[in-house]
Chain A
Amino acid sequence: MEVITKTKAFTKGLWNSRIDVRNFIQTNLTPYEGDSSFLTGPTEATQQLWAICLEAMAYERANNGVVDIDTETISTITSHQAGYIEKSLEKIVGLQTDALLKRAMKPYGGVRIVEGAVKEKGLEMAERVKEIFNYTKDHNSGVFDAYDPEILNYRKQGVLTGLPDNYARGRIIGDYRRLALYGIDQLIEAKKADKLAINGEMTEHKIRLREEVSMQIKALEDIRTLGEMYGLQLNRPAENAQEAIQWVYMAYLAATKEQDGAAMSLGNVSAFIDIYIERDLQAGLLTEQEAQELIDHFVMKLRMIRHLRPGAYDQIFAGDPTWVTEAIGGQLTDGRTKVTKTAFRFLQTLYNLGASPEPNLTVLWSQALPEGFKNFCAKVSLDTSSIQYENDDLMRECRGTDDYGIACCVSHQEIGKRIQFFGARTNLAKTLLLAINEGKDEKDGTPILKNIPALQGEFLDYTQVMANFKLAMQQVAEVYARAMNIIHYCHDKYYYEKAQLAFIDTDPGIDIAYGAAGISIIADSLSAIRYAKVKPIRNEKGIAIDYQIEGEYPMFGNDNDKVDSLAQEVTQFFIETLKQHKTYKNANSTLSLLTITSNVMYGKMTGNTPDGRKAGEPFAPGANPMHGRDVNGAIASLNSVAKLDYRYALDGISNTMSLVPKSLGNNRNVQTENLVALLDGYFAKKAHHLNVNVLNRDMLMDAYENPEKYPQLTIRVSGYAVNFIRLTKAHQLEVITRTFHECM
């Protein structure tokens, strides 16, 4: 009862009469314009807990990357009993299974993949579980029943890659704050009302929706049970800061018990949580130290999220990522800042618990952010390399909301209102080679595309190549769209995200997220063909296996419009082509220029390209210029990428910048100041995203050779951060050789 008498009531608003977390934030937020001086270090309990986690992670690394797997149980919201790190010390509780870092089987994405992943670790999936799939079906089987030969061929030859057709698609962000603000009972009530309103003549759409909402209600009931296992009364709203964080985490935890999507973001919870913390601080129920402890314990839990992945998965998503992406900062549409003290507290975890790739902390950068926050972000980047930046001004303008999270690495998602269908990506560089080779694979001659005219002449002719390339992109887009529709239809059918969708409006808007890899290779290749002379070397089958370049040509990454405009043109053409195709559930088609760590894999799968890149050499990550070709320094390089228009790549344009500290200036203050200026400058140019790695090449070489010395070394790779020593050796080398922007 004490709580009720001491804390003041929240300001009322629309949020009281409908599910509307954004309105709650708008009416109750306390923006913070100050600096970081109020922050506190870790408590004793935090240090003890984290020491246990560090030890468990060391064991995990030593034990082939996995501590343990529950091979007996299909993971559901309620499948596992409560688990703890050290119960007496934990302010925020909840693990995915009954033990720290123990992984669970979530086989509905693809049971064979899970079975294989278990085998790789020397274990065996229980017969009982295998048996179940004699009577039911998984997403993977559904998709392959529906795929056509063309899709299979594209997939096999590496034109379409990483498609979520044998694993969970992820990317959907539940509005996990809803559990804290409303409690299970009110949420179920609202969903029941929604279901009742889906009435009248039953179209396919309505039938599906009624079934979906029913599943969501079931998930909410399960989450209530999950709470009971931990002694939490989730049926009612949270009453204080500790509960608010605990409730949010339980909602998120439920999602990660049911799903193992490639990326499962947390959303944008810091401003929401801050309202509860601020109220408790005002009432004298909480000290700053205790507030920080709550956030530290929450973040610690997020760092312990694990999914069971097969080894092959590492090829595309290296470093065992979970993408618990949390978006921090940004501005409200009414002009106030969304930065709160809790935004600082989240970043402070990188000091209190050390650097870490997860949760994937993403700062929503606005020119109008308070100076104190900008400076602190820059300082944290310099110290930990653990945060990435996205352009809040641009996204608010183009997407029309101030309440959004980042799905996976770079993709905008309005919280609770829209969802996203993940589409991995197509290899655009390979598509260009198909355009040059009459539609045949450059490596083994397999026919892939139809009716691509043979090129005439000794040298590649720009007009001919471009015309062929557009034909090729059109065919790829058509097949890509077909594949995506099949995948997401089947995912809904066999592996519906009921725990996440329970926290999202019924019948939300949908973006279908296509992707393209190799934009800088495309730009440089087309530039070479246009401004220099490129002679293809053809083998006996007439396939161009290599290229001789005579003369100079401008390269992407030097702020040269001649070549930068080629990257722009291709991006625009490709999304416009994709948009011509029908989409499942009438989703809105978007495109990303993003590779995550798969740029290494794309390199291996792609032959020599007309820009002089050799077969097997990695692509540049995301929309980055190719390694070492951006010779005019970092800003010219950033300017080239900034020219790629976000409106044509609404799913995100990823850019990764690696700097040695010295290149930012000769002392800490200057470095901080210059990093802030750099971010302001880049985003003022309407650029979308920037990873900032502030590193020392020597340190990386040392980490490569002595991984045990650097258990927490974090670097940012094309949209997300990874633990360096969990990367494969090939990826580590790739990171080291990537352009370091050093001054003369």
Chain B
Amino acid sequence: MYATDSLRIHSIESFGTHDGPGIRLVVFTQGCHFRCLYCANPDTWDLHQGSEISIDEIVRMAVAQKSFFGKKGGVTISGGEPTLQRLALLSLFKKLHAEGINAALDSNGKILNDEVKALLKETDYLLLDVKHINDEWHHLLTSVSNQSVLEVAAYREQTGKAMWLRYVLVPGYSDQEEYLHQLGEHFKHYKSIEKIEIQPYHQLGVHKWEALGKTYELAHVQPPNQECIDKTKNIFKMYFKEVVVN
């Protein structure tokens, strides 16, 4: 169904420092099945938009910037939702590993099938976005259930490979103390989780909604204040060994 030797992408950031460890080449893929109310990149939703880039070209770019990666850096595939193009990614990650470059995957956890499992095996860091621990709220925020997200997390835990959780903090939507605790309880025994990253909600993507003629429903929601961020951080600290505000 999708190409295996090329990706549809939205853009490339050669100097990524917020999506996985070290300096990273971050490729933002096109296509997503979630409809997050706060999505900063609604222009990535449509799989048929964006541009096409070959796997080999991405490998070439990664090799060209390998000297910048140091001990930690590498390549991160973000989106959109990368797993929509899992076959191409599997081949990309294998090629990166052949070049001695580590691969991270930033996913919303929508899909878990054998192909995604194979991809996760080749993934050095899974950055898993947990949008909400409560399914109803998750539905409200993203228009889909969090069932698969939790399954992906559980599967990753089984494999024992590294995982970072990412949590978008939206005042009034994902900052309820009870749910923050519930999320902590759910994951506190996970050994694969190295850290959880709080991503304070921002409105920097609003103009894209307007450009696409879509209504931005969170126009009234302000970014979380320091107090809200600190509160969340302190709660997460009770459950996770490292909590980072991104």
Could you say which residues of chain B place their CB within 8 Å of the CB of A635? Answer: 14-15, 23, 25, 65, 68
Instruction: Please provide the chain B residues from 17 to 41 with a CB less than 8 Å away from any CB of chain A in the complex.
Output: 17-18, 22-23, 25-26, 28
A contacts with B: majority SS: helix
Closest to A635 in B: B14
A636–B60 CA distance with the chains assembled, in angstroms: 12
B106 CB, nearest partner CB in chain A, Å: 12
Q: Is the CB of B16 within 8 A of A743?
A: yes
Of A635, A670, A682, A685, most B-chain CB atoms within 10 Å: A635
- Whether B14 contacts A665 by the Cβ 8 Å rule is no
What's the Cα separation between A674 and B26 when bound, in Å? 15
Is A741 a contact partner of B17 (Cβ separation < 8 A)? no
In whole angstroms, how far apart are the Cα atoms of A728 and B246 in the complex?
37
Inter-chain residue pair count (beta carbon < 8 A): 82
Out of B17, B25, B67, which one reaches A684, CB within 8 Å?
B67
Shortest Cβ distance from residue A552 to the other chain B in the assembled complex, whole angstroms: 11
How would residues 627 to 667 of chain A score, 1 for a CB under 8 Å from any chain B CB and 0 otherwise? 00001111111110000000000000000000000011111
Question: A677 at interface (Cβ–Cβ under 8 A)?
Answer: yes
Instruction: Tell me if A665 and B69 are in contact (CB < 8 A).
Output: no
A window 303-348: CB within 8 A of B: none
- Please determine whether B17 and A559 come into contact, CB atoms closer than 8 angstroms: no
Query: Within 8 Å of chain A (Cβ to Cβ): is B218?
Result: no
Q: Is the CB of A743 within 8 A of B13?
A: yes
Chain B minimum-CB-distance residue to A634: B15
A560 to chain B, nearest CB (A): 10
Looking across the interface, which residue of chain A has its beta carbon closest to that of B61? Answer: A559
Q: How large is the interface on A (under 10, 10 to 19, 20 to 34, 35 or more residues)?
A: 20 to 34
In angstroms, Cα B13 to Cα A75, docked, is 54
**Given the complex, which residues of B lie within 8 Å of A559, measured CB to CB?**
14, 61, 64-65
Instruction: Evaluate contact between A744 and B28: CB separation under 8 angstroms.
Output: yes
Is B213 engaged at the interface, CB distance under 8 Å to the other chain?
no
B22 near A666 with CB under 8 A, answer no
Number of interface residues of B (CB under 8 A): 25
- Separation in Å of the A645 CB from the closest CB of chain B? 16
Residues on the B chain within 8 Å of A674, using CB: 17, 22-23
Q: How far is the CB of A637 from chain B (nearest CB, A)?
A: 8
Q: How far is the CA of A635 from the CA of B24 in the complex (A)?
A: 9
Are the CB atoms of A681 and B23 closer together than 8 Å? yes
Give the distance in Å from the alpha carbon of A665 to the alpha carbon of B244 in the complex.
11
Chain B residues closer than 8 Å to A666, beta-carbon distance: 17-18, 244-246
With A633-B12, A744-B11 known as contacts, the answer to whether A681 contacts B18 (CB < 8 A) is no
Query: A45 near B: Cβ within 8 Å?
Result: no
Q: Is the CB of B18 within 8 A of A636?
A: no
Report the minimum CB–CB distance from B75 to chain A (whole Å).
12
- Residues from chain A with a CB closer than 8 A to the CB of B25 are 635
Asked whether any CB of chain A lies closer than 8 Å to the CB of B109, the reply is no
Q: Does B172 touch A at the CB level, under 8 Å?
A: no
Contact of A678 among B13, B23, B64 (CB under 8 A): B23
Structural contact, B73 and A677, CB atoms closer than 8 A: yes
Alpha-carbon distance A633/B25, docked complex (angstroms): 9
Contact mask for chain B residues 49-93; partner A; CB cutoff 8 A; 1 contact, 0 none: 000000000000100110111101100000000000000000000
Instruction: Provide the A179-200 mask, 1 if CB < 8 A to any CB of B, else 0.
Output: 0000000000000000000000
Instruction: Name A664's contact: one of B14, B17, B69, B70 (CB within 8 Å).
Output: B17
A681 near B67 with CB under 8 A, answer yes
Q: Write the nearest CB–CB distance from B17 to chain A, whole angstroms.
A: 5
Cα of A744 to Cα of B9 in the assembled complex, Å:
15
Residue of B nearest to A682 (CB): B68
For B21, the closest partner residue in chain A by CB is A670
Closest to B73 in A: A677
Give the distance in Å from the alpha carbon of A496 to the alpha carbon of B43 in the complex.
65
Indicate which residue in B15, B67, B73 contacts A633 across the interface (CB closer than 8 Å): B15
| Interface status of A680 (Cβ within 8 A of chain B) | yes
Contact assessment for A632 and B23 in the assembled complex, using a CB-CB cutoff below 8 Å: no
In B115-164, the 8 Å CB interface with A consists of none
Q: Is A741 within 8 A of B15, CB to CB? A: yes
A631–B13 Cα distance when bound, in Å, is: 8
User: Shortest Cβ distance from B205 into chain A, in angstroms?
Assistant: 10
Smallest CB–CB gap between B107 and chain A, Å?
17
Interface-central residue, B11, B13, B67, by most chain A CB under 10 Å = B67
Residues on A with C-beta less than 8 A from B67 are: 680-682, 684-685
Q: A residues within 8 A CB of B61?
A: 559, 636
* Chain A 727-744 interface mask (CB, 8 Å, partner B; 1/0): 000000000000001011
- Of B16, B64, B68, B72, chain A has the most CB atoms within 10 Å of the CB of B68
Q: Which of A664-707 contact B (CB under 8 A)?
A: 664-667, 670, 673-674, 676-678, 680-682, 684-685
Inter-chain contact B22/A632, CB cutoff 8 Å = no
- A638, A673, A677, A682 — most chain B CB neighbours (10 Å): A677
A610–B110 alpha-carbon span in the complex (Å): 48
Q: A711 to nearest B CB, angstroms?
A: 30
Chain A residues numbered 594-647 whose CB sits less than 8 Å from any CB in chain B:
631-639
Point out the residue from B11, B16, B23, B28 that lies within 8 Å of A677, measured CB to CB. Answer: B23
Smallest Cβ-Cβ distance to A663: which chain B residue: B17
Quick one: given A639-B64, A677-B22, are A634 and B14 in contact (CB under 8 Å)?
yes
Which among B14, B18, B61 has the greatest number of chain A C-beta atoms within 10 A? B14
Chain A residues positioned under 8 Å from B23 (CB to CB): 635, 674, 677-678, 681
In the complex, the answer to whether B69 meets A636 with C-beta atoms within 8 Å is no
How long is the Cα–Cα vector from A636 to B13 in the complex, in angstroms? 8
With both chains docked as a complex, state the minimum distance between the C-beta of A697 and any C-beta of chain B, in angstroms.
Answer: 14
Q: B244: which A residues are within 8 A, CB to CB?
A: 666-667
| Given known A-B contacts A674-B23, A677-B70, A680-B70, A632 and B14 have beta carbons under 8 A apart | yes
Contacts of A636 in B (CB 8 A): 12, 14-15, 61, 65
Determine whether the beta carbon of A665 is less than 8 Å from that of B64.
no
> Least Cβ distance of B209 to chain A in Å?
16
A630 to chain B, nearest CB (A): 9
Most chain B C-beta atoms within 10 Å of own C-beta, residue among A559, A633, A676: A633
Please pick, from B17, B26, B65, the residue contacting A665 in the complex, using a CB distance under 8 A: B17
CB distance from B76 to the nearest CB of A (A): 12
Interface string of A509-551 (1 = CB under 8 A from B): 0000000000000000000000000000000000000000000
When A and B form their complex, which 10 residue pairs have the shortest distance between CB atoms, in order from nearest? A681-B68, A635-B14, A634-B15, A677-B70, A684-B67, A633-B14, A636-B14, A633-B15, A681-B67, A633-B13
B residues neighboring A (CB under 8 Å): 11-18, 22-23, 25-26, 28, 61, 64-65, 67-70, 72-73, 244-246
Known interface pairs A631-B11, A634-B15; 4 further A-B residue pairs with C-beta atoms within 8 A, sorted by A's residue number: A635-B15, A635-B68, A680-B68, A743-B18
